[in-house]
């Protein structure tokens, strides 16, 4: 199955919620775990028990695993492998972006068939030019994986670049990223190139021609409500995947409580979507 087909099946089964797996030091401490690779592994195991087969997508944040060195990356590899066949897709949040042979290297690490850190999808940064992502896009196509390209993020610093006028004066740089992703989806017919658009503000983008998924960070602890996410992304041509990390993870460390928190938030999203029609 292609990434788009797997995502269709996951959302149909579990709804659109994406749960962020962000084992930052304060959260490890809050769960009574040590801030080392052993604590990280225990955290990952509880997240797997809670979310595999419960939500459509989980999004491990690579930085929180990398900070523990080789053992932390080994935990990440194990975490990604553990979701295979569960019906829950993995989206590795690494925001990779570079040029030439370096981008080839990232494609080998994350996206090619047999990639050691291969997830169902990977976040990418296009701010060295969308064309610089070609090795990653090609590798993802060949392996049946997806990518999510940063377009309009919720951090205030991003506006300086993302809201600048694109060359030629035809809209913002962020809109040009969306348009490039849409063109790629039209060319491959796979719908495997998504974009990242923050949900904490009105984004001002035309997403009607994307025909790919939109990852929407900001649900819950960052301030966006289910109703606001539904309203801000009405008319999007593709799955809208709201992300909650702290809003769900604060229910831990019990796996059952984590599962209940994710299911409750999924229910709120479904109710908001039903109320918008």
Catalytic residues: 95
| Number of Cβ within a 10 Å radius of residue 263 | 17
- Measured CA to CA, the distance from residue 35 to residue 186 in angstroms comes to 45
SS3 of the chain: CCHHHHHHHHHHHHCCCEEEECCCHHHHHHCCCCCCHHHHHHHHHHHHHHHCCCCCEEEEEHHHHHCCHHHHHHHHHHHHHHCCCCCCEEEEEEEECCCHHHHHHHHHHHCCCCCCCCCCEEEECCCCCHHHHHHHHHHHHHHCCEEEEEEECCCHHHHHHHCCECCCCCCEHHHHHHHHHHHHHHHHCCCCEEEEECCCCCCCCCCCCCCCCEEEECECCCCECHHHHHHHCCCCCCCEEEEECHHHHCCCCCHHHHHHHHHHHHHHHHHHHHHCC
């Amino acid at each position: 199955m292609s990434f788009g087909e797997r995502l269709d099946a996951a959302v149909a089964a579990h709804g659109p919620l994406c749960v962020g797996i962000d084992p930052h030091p304060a959260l490890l401490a809050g769960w009574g775990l040590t801030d080392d690779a052993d604590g990280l592994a225990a955290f990952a195991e509880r997240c797997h028990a809670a979310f595999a087969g419960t939500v459509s997508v989980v999004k491990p944040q690579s930085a929180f695993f990398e900070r523990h060195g080789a053992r932390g990356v080994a935990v990440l590899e194990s975490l990604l492998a553990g979701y295979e066949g569960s019906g829950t897709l993995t989206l590795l949040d690494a925001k990779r972006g570079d040029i030439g042979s370096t981008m080839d290297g990232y494609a080998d690490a994350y996206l090619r068939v047999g990639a050691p850190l291969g997830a169902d999808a990977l976040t990418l940064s296009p701010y060295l030019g969308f064309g610089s992502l070609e090795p990653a896009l090609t590798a993802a196509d060949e392996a049946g994986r997806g990518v999510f390209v940063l377009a309009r993020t919720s951090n205030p610093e991003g506006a300086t670049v993302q809201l600048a006028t694109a060359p030629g004066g035809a809209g913002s740089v962020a809109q040009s990223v969306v348009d490039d992703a849409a063109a790629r989806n039209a060319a491959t017919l796979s719908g495997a190139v998504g974009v990242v658009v923050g949900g904490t503000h009105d984004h001002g983008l035309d997403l009607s021609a994307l025909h790919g998924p939109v990852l929407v960070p900001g649900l819950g602890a960052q301030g966006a409500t289910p109703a606001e996410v539904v309203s801000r992304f009405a008319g999007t041509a593709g799955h809208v995947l709201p992300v909650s990390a702290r809003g769900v993870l604060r229910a831990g460390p019990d796996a059952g409580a984590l599962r209940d928190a994710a299911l409750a938030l999924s229910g709120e999203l479904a109710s908001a979507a039903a109320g918008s029609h």
